[in-house]
Amino acid sequence: MFYNLLTKKTLILTLMIMMLVPLAQVQAESKEIIELKKIFKGLVGRAPETIKASQLPGIYEVVMGSQVMYVSKDGRYLLQGDLFDIKTNINLTENTRSEKRIGLLNSIKESDMIVFKPRKANHRVTVFTDIDCGYCRKLHREMDSYLKEGIEVRYLAFPRSGPNSKSYYKAVTVWCSDDRQKAMTEAKSGKEQARKDCVNPVKDQFELGQAFGVTGTPSIVLDNGELVPGYVPAERLKKILEERSLSL
């Protein structure tokens, strides 16, 4: 009896899923979206990561890399800029960017970062950093202040001059050192280090920063996906994190 009931419930659930899947596929692959993908592929050589109906009637939201755009159903009109809901005072475009950053952030293993942990971490930030960047060095000189405020700092490499540059190889050398924290501190203090090489994530992290929309360093990413550009003093950063209620 119990087996029969279980079988019937399983059958009903399976039928419900089968009914929902085709509907989702139709919505995801509507004629308009297929045509818009073709248009973008013709323009830039690849289809967007996502195309979906926006909050504006007749307008689709398009996400390509770090860019969020809006396009008319027929693909004729394209708009770049932030879309706000005036009634709620919410930046809808930034919400989309933040959602994407959260997904990217969650894809990174902490073992691929250089992490400075306080005795008791109350907050956490991920920082795209450049060894030679002046404000990156200032932030690092004040690391004790961030740790004192209970802020864990996780570094990702973003040599602004790009791969195969002097700053790039400095980041590689830091990563390939036996004590990465010490090597980071020495490099940011201007100490010359003998070049080292090994399997490293520096290039991948640089490309990841571009996907995040990083254009300068330091760039601080909060756990809610918000990107805070530039140097922020420890006390101010703690206040921002508390205002966003981002506690571990």
Do residues 182 and 151 lie in contact, with contact meaning Cβ atoms separated by under 8 Å? no
Q: Which residues are catalytic?
A: 130, 133, 136, 160
Cα four-point dihedral sign 161, 143, 227, 175:
positive
**What is the token pair recorded at 30?**
């509507």
Do residues 179 and 193 lie in contact, with contact meaning Cβ atoms separated by under 8 Å? no
CA distance 97 to 100: 5
Q: Which residue from 206, 138, 137, 141 is spatially nearest to 168, judged by alpha carbons?
A: 206
Q: Which residues contact 221 (CB under 8 A, 6 or more apart)?
A: 101, 105, 125, 126, 127, 128, 212, 227, 228
Q: Which residues contact 88 (CB under 8 A, 6 or more apart)?
A: none
DSSP 122-151: SEEEEEEE-TT-HHHHHHHHTHHHHHHTTE
Half-sphere exposure of 90 (CA within 13 A, CB side): 8
